[in-house]
A and B are shown apart, each in its own frame.
Chain A
């Protein structure tokens, strides 16, 4: 099973996702924004990061970029609830920044499992 770091400013999203991932058998840590997430990953590098895109402090695309620079082998799933651009556009951008796959919020557990399978595939 994998060590997964969740980065999201939404507490309920962070909470539900942590519990779900733990039930799926993963080891989970969580940070409320990109800055804290990057710091946490530096201390204890995870196998996979699931990060939100629109966040305070450090937004998602910059977070992905830094994580990829510091840990070239790290796997990333980008998730977003959309914003000024459509959700698809944000997520498409995230892929270009190096996210292995994406999840449009809100997503079901089945969709999460598919994304995990894709991101963690050897």
Chain B
């Protein structure tokens, strides 16, 4: 179509519009749609903004929570790292998952990493008694926790510590153990103090017991001597009335021999209970050792080899020679009994020693000073610990009835104590026994070397 240029322009427009009604509709529709779109965009934008804000807030929240978590983590990590008590986490099978520096230090390692690398298996590498690990596991699996369990562990250098452990097991939903975690305290000094107290108490009890037995023994000895005195007198009176050479006279002679033996036994009881010092004189202990060793040579079977070592340069002590002789002979005879079946080596050694004060003196009842140490060692059957504890008690014997009175070692003990000395015994069942007698060394008088 060609537009009519003669028509007035103002009126002309309308007819044109009118001439295209669809266009108007379209435009209106377009406008409506545009408005609609704007509204929808605005709505969406608002929604997006809200979502954004929410997200932002959420992120903020999360960051805050993370910060808090990290702070908590730092706090607990610090607690773990700086704790003065040892702490760990481990698998139930016995591998460490983490250990803190305190535990590493306690077990002798420079740091946790070094300890984790060195300990592959807790039961094997840490526990002194792997059986204790089994008990620990039984308890923790049964009760879920272990409180103040005391046991011994081995440090890196092999030194043994006493520790107290409290631990719990962490489980999953199905009750399976995930890991153990616990704390460990070093209680070695407490244990040492307890052991020392127990030892002292034991020593005191033993002392009281020996004293009580001593009192009893001296009472028995006194009564026995009176009884033996009466019997001896009457036997001699009967002997007067019997014809010499008669059977009755010869029987009474046997009674008199038995009375002599009874007198010897009572004398031994008295020696044990003796409180006063023995008849002392300056003697050379080496000479007595020689004498007794020669006597043992003559009497012991050839399956027992006797070795004599005298290293003491000064071997004088103030003592009753007969009693010291008895001590040595008794220890030597006991040693030979211990080797009667298999034979072995009997060592008799005399050396001079200095017992320090307070020092690691092996004989705690003695004051510091110079002593002569007499060792009698056998390679015999040894003595069980329960017997060893009672070995110096009078009437305690492991020999069959009739073979020993059980007085020998108590008499030895009494004599040595009476001389201001002490006696120690160590024994390994199956390997042998060592008796060590300590006697104070005699001081050199003026003018002596």
Query: Could you list which residues of chain A lie within 8 angstroms of chain B, going by C-beta atoms?
Result: 8, 10-13, 15-17, 19-20, 23, 52, 54, 79-89, 104-109
B225 touches A82 (CB 8 A): yes
Chain B residues in 8 Å Cβ range of A54: 222
Could you list 23 A-B pairs, sorted by A, with CB under 8 Å?
A12-B234, A13-B226, A13-B229, A13-B230, A15-B230, A15-B234, A16-B230, A16-B237, A19-B233, A81-B223, A81-B225, A82-B266, A84-B273, A85-B274, A86-B270, A86-B274, A87-B225, A88-B279, A105-B228, A106-B228, A106-B231, A108-B232, A108-B236
Task: Give the nearest-CB partner of B271 in chain A.
Answer: A86
Taking residues whose C-beta sits less than 8 angstroms from the other chain, chain B's interface range is 20 to 34
B301 contacts chain A at the CB level, 8 A cutoff:
no
Q: Counting chain A CB atoms within 10 Å of each CB, which of B223, B226, B230, B275 scores highest?
A: B226
Chain A residues in 8 Å Cβ range of B273: 84
CA distance A23 to B232 in the complex (A): 15
A87 touches B270 (CB 8 A): yes
Chain B residues in 8 Å Cβ range of A10: 226-227, 229-230
CA distance A76 to B45 in the complex (A): 137
B221 contacts chain A at the CB level, 8 A cutoff:
yes
A84 touches B232 (CB 8 A): no
The residue that A86 contacts in the complex, of B219, B231, B276, with Cβ under 8 A, is: B276
Task: Give the nearest-CB partner of A54 in chain B.
Answer: B222
Chain B residues in 8 Å Cβ range of A16: 229-234, 236-237
B237 touches A107 (CB 8 A): no
A82 touches B236 (CB 8 A): no
- Indicate whether A105 sits within 8 Å of B225 (C-beta atoms), given known contacts A10-B230, A16-B230, A85-B275: yes
Chain A residues in 8 Å Cβ range of B276: 85-86, 89
Chain B residues in 8 Å Cβ range of A84: 215, 218, 273, 275
Query: Could you list which residues of chain B lie within 8 angstroms of chain A, going by C-beta atoms?
Result: 215, 218-219, 221-234, 236-237, 240, 259, 263, 266, 270-271, 273-276, 279
Chain A residues in 8 Å Cβ range of B218: 82-84
Chain B nearest CB from A53 CB (Å) reads 10
Chain A residues in 8 Å Cβ range of B270: 82, 86-87
CA distance A106 to B233 in the complex (A): 9
CA distance A84 to B236 in the complex (A): 29
CA distance A11 to B270 in the complex (A): 23
Chain B nearest CB from A92 CB (Å) reads 9
CA distance A41 to B229 in the complex (A): 24
Task: Give the nearest-CB partner of B234 in chain A.
Answer: A16
A107 touches B232 (CB 8 A): yes
CA distance A81 to B275 in the complex (A): 16
A83 touches B222 (CB 8 A): yes
The residue that B219 contacts in the complex, of A8, A11, A83, with Cβ under 8 A, is: A83
The list of the 8 closest CB pairs from A to B, nearest first, reads A16-B233, A81-B225, A12-B230, A106-B228, A105-B229, A106-B229, A105-B225, A10-B226
CA distance A12 to B232 in the complex (A): 10
Task: Give the nearest-CB partner of B230 in chain A.
Answer: A12
Task: Give the nearest-CB partner of B274 in chain A.
Answer: A86
B221 touches A82 (CB 8 A): yes
Q: Supply 6 further A-B pairs (C-beta < 8 A) apart from A82-B221, A83-B222, A105-B226.
A: A10-B226, A12-B229, A19-B233, A80-B225, A81-B225, A84-B275
The residue that A20 contacts in the complex, of B227, B233, B271, with Cβ under 8 A, is: B233
Chain A nearest CB from B21 CB (Å) reads 149
Chain B nearest CB from A56 CB (Å) reads 13
Chain B residues in 8 Å Cβ range of A87: 225, 270
- Indicate whether A13 sits within 8 Å of B233 (C-beta atoms), given known contacts A85-B275, A86-B270: yes
Chain A nearest CB from B277 CB (Å) reads 9
Chain A residues in 8 Å Cβ range of B221: 81-83
CA distance A105 to B259 in the complex (A): 11
Chain B nearest CB from A20 CB (Å) reads 6
Chain B residues in 8 Å Cβ range of A20: 233, 236-237
Q: Counting chain B CB atoms within 10 Å of each CB, which of A19, A23, A79, A106 scores highest?
A: A106
CA distance A91 to B279 in the complex (A): 14
Chain A residues in 8 Å Cβ range of B236: 16, 20, 108-109
Chain B nearest CB from A103 CB (Å) reads 9
